[in-house]
Amino acid sequence: MRSFLIDRYTKGGVLRLSESPEPALLANDVMVEIRAAGVNLLDSKIRDGEFKLILPYRVPLVLGNDVAGVVVRVGANVRRFKPGDEVYARPAQDRIGTFAEYIAMDEADVAIKPNNLSMIEAASIPLVALTAWQTLVERAELQKGQKVLIHAGSGGVGTIAIQLAKHLGAHVATTTSTANIALVKSLGADVVVDYKKDDFEKVLQGYDVVLNSLGKDTLEKSLAVLKPGGKLISISGPPDPDFARQNGSGWLLQQVMRLLSSGIRRKSRRQKISYSFLFMTANGGQLGKITSLIEAGGIRPVIDSVFPFERTNEALNYVETGRAKGKVVVAVK
C-alpha cells in the first residue's frame, strides 16, 4: 500500500511517500480502506520528535491520527462491525498511520460514520472532537450555566469545543483574530476576544473552566480568568505527574514531568485552581456519542481545505502555519 512515513525524527522534515506492507489484522481488529485522513498539528509534533519520550515510536513510522473509510476485513473476535461498514476513528496512539491506503484498528476505537457527513467531513472529526469531549465532558464535567473560555476558537479543537460547550448549556468565550470573529460567533460563542486588539485576561473574569491549546504565556495568563475552584486544562502542555502515571511512564520520566509542570501547578494552587494536562485517547464509545450529536445537528464540521493524497506534505505544512480555520483533510481515495 502507499503511505507517507518518516525514517527518523527530523524537525520540519519531509514525509516520504513509500510502498509499505498492509498492517497486520489482529483478532479484535477491523481493517479499513482509508478514504480520507484528517491532518493535525500532532502529526508534525510527532515528526519533529517532540513526543518521543512519551510516545516511543519505532521508525519507519507511518503518520496520521484521523481516519474515515470502509471496513474491508474483520478479525475473528469482532462483532460490532462487518465488511462494507462506513466508519471513522482516531486510532490508538501506538497504532497510528492514517496517511496510507489501509489501517488496522481495534474495534473498541472505531465508530460508525455519521450518516449526514461525507468521508472528507467525517475524517475531520475524531481527534478534535474526542479532545473536546474528554476535556469538557470527562475532565471538566462542564455543567449548564457554567462559564468556559476556549482558546483559539477558530482552530480544529476550538471549532468543535465551542459547539460542544454550547450543547452542554455553558456560557462560552473564545479568543481569535479579527478575521475569524464571524466564524466563532456562528458556532455559538457568546463572547469573542480579538487577541490582536485586547488582552483576554483583562476582559474576562469569573470563569469555571479554561481549555488551553496555546503556549506558556497564554496558559499562565488564563489563571486570571478563573475563579477559585476553577479548572485550567491544557492540551498543549506541560505534562503533569498524573498524566505520566496514566501513561505508564517510568519513575525518571515522572520526575521530569513533575519538574516541567511545577511552575504552573504551584501558581494554580495559590489561586485555588486545579491544573491538569490532557492527551486525548482513542475511544469508539465516546465517538459514538459524538456521532449522535452530529446527526442531531448539535455539532458540524468546519473544514478549511482538502488536499489530494499526493500532497500530504503540503497539507501538513499548511497546518503548521496556524492559519487554518477548522480542519485540513487529505483525500486518500
pLDDT score of 74: 98
pLDDT score of 86: 98
From residue 283, give the alpha-carbon distance in Å to each of 46, 75, 105, 260.
20, 19, 11, 28
pLDDT tens sequence across 204-247: 999 999 999 999 899 999 999 999 999 999 998 778 777 777 77
| pLDDT band, residue 24 (cuts 50/70/90) | very high
Residue 251 has pLDDT above 80, yes or no: no
pLDDT tens sequence across 38-83: 999 999 999 999 888 778 899 999 999 999 999 999 999 999 999 9
**Assigned architecture for domain 128-277:** 3-Layer(aba) Sandwich (3.40)
| pLDDT band, residue 157 (cuts 50/70/90) | very high
CA nearest to 220, candidates 263, 172, 279, 164? 263
> What does the alpha-carbon distance between residue 287 and residue 310 come to, in Å, rounded to a whole number?
28
Phi, psi of 16 (to 5 degrees): -100, 125
CA nearest to 324, candidates 69, 37, 13, 38? 38
Query: Domain residues of the chain, as ranges?
Result: 2-124+301-331, 128-277
End-to-end C-alpha distance for the chain, whole angstroms? 12
Are the C-beta atoms of residues 332 and 35 closer than 8 Å to each other? yes
Residue 170 has pLDDT above 80, yes or no: yes
Widest distance between CA atoms in the chain = 58
> What does the alpha-carbon distance between residue 219 and residue 55 come to, in Å, rounded to a whole number?
23
Q: Are strands 2-6 and 16-19 parallel, antiparallel or unpaired?
A: antiparallel
Burial pattern 88-110, b for ≥16 Cβ within 10 A else e, equals bbbbebeebbbbbbbbbbbbebb
pLDDT score of 158: 98
Rg, C-alpha atoms of the chain: 19
Residue type, 245: R
pLDDT score of 246: 77
CA nearest to 305, candidates 274, 279, 329, 273? 329
Residue 250 has pLDDT above 80, yes or no: no
Instruction: State mean pLDDT over 296-314.
Output: 98
Q: Among the CATH numbers 3.40.50.150, 3.90.180.10, 1.25.10.10, 3.90.260.10, which is that of 2-124+301-331?
A: 3.90.180.10
Cell numbers for 212: 488551553
Instruction: State mean pLDDT over 303-311.
Output: 98
The SS3 assignment for 147 reads strand
| pLDDT band, residue 261 (cuts 50/70/90) | confident
CA nearest to 37, candidates 307, 288, 294, 289? 307
Any idea which of 169-178, 261-270, 318-327 has the lowest mean pLDDT?
A: 261-270
Mean pLDDT across the chain: 95
Instruction: State mean pLDDT over 157-176.
Output: 98
Instruction: Tell me which of 165 and 243 has the higher pLDDT.
Output: 165
> What does the alpha-carbon distance between residue 299 and residue 294 come to, in Å, rounded to a whole number?
5
The SS3 assignment for 170 reads coil
Are the C-beta atoms of residues 127 and 66 closer than 8 Å to each other? yes
DSSP strand E in the chain: where? 2-6, 16-19, 29-39, 61-62, 67-74, 86-89, 102-106, 110-112, 147-150, 171-176, 191-194, 207-212, 226-234, 274-277, 303-308, 327-331
pLDDT score of 249: 72
pLDDT score of 297: 96
Fold agreement between 2-124+301-331 and 128-277: no
CA nearest to 88, candidates 50, 122, 42? 122
Statement: the pTM of the whole predicted model exceeds 0.75 = yes
| pLDDT band, residue 167 (cuts 50/70/90) | very high
- How many CB atoms are located within 10 Å of the residue 159 CB? 31
Per-residue H/E/C for 148-199: EEECCCCCHHHHHHHHHHHHCCCEEEEEECHHHHHHHHHCCCCEEEECCCCC
The pLDDT > 70 percentage for the chain reads 100
CA nearest to 126, candidates 73, 65, 75? 65
> What does the alpha-carbon distance between residue 310 and residue 312 come to, in Å, rounded to a whole number?
6
> What does the alpha-carbon distance between residue 318 and residue 327 come to, in Å, rounded to a whole number?
11
pLDDT score of 240: 77
pLDDT tens sequence across 82-111: 999 999 999 999 999 999 999 999 999 999
Lookup result for grid cell 496510507: 100
